[in-house]
């Protein structure tokens, strides 16, 4: 039976960045893991894999910033479900949950 391949390491244009570090910024196409539910800037964040969509409006009409800033606040904090736009800096979303994970 084939074994799963490890995720590609981050490089320009995307890739897996490993465990989320709120002191670092993330760009469109990059993914990261929040392995344990936590609180960032007073916002509860569930464990899982998150991705950063490209800047612009997606097919669902959601506006995306195209990056996650270091030391995020408001909607820039990775979260699921997505919060109301009125809470967002610049009225955009920043990262979305790709796959929730169970804490072990």
Instruction: Please write the tens of the pLDDT for every residue from 67-104.
Output: 999 999 888 899 888 887 765 566 889 999 999 987 65
Sorting pLDDT into bands at 50, 70 and 90, what band is 5? very low
The radius of gyration of the chain's CA atoms, rounded to the nearest angstrom, is 14
Q: Provide the pLDDT for residue 69.
A: 94
The pLDDT value given to residue 14: 72
The pLDDT tens digits of the residues spanning 17-42 come to: 999 999 999 999 999 999 999 999 88
Q: In this structure, are residues 17 and 30 in contact, taking their beta carbons and an 8 Å threshold?
A: yes
Question: Which stretches of 25-104 are assigned E, i.e. beta strand?
Answer: 26-27, 30-34, 38-40, 43-45, 48-51, 56-57, 63-64, 67-68, 96-100
């Amino acid at each position: 039976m084939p074994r799963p391949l490890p995720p590609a390491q981050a490089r320009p244009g995307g890739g897996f960045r490993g465990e989320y570090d709120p002191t670092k910024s993330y760009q469109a196409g990059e993914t990261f893991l929040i392995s344990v539910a936590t609180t960032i800037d007073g916002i509860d964040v569930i464990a899982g894999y998150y991705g950063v969509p490209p800047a612009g409006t997606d097919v669902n009409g959601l506006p995306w910033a195209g990056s996650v800033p270091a030391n995020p606040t408001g909607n820039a904090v990775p979260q699921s479900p997505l919060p109301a736009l009125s809470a967002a800096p610049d009225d955009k979303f920043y990262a979305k949950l790709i796959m929730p994970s169970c804490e072990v």
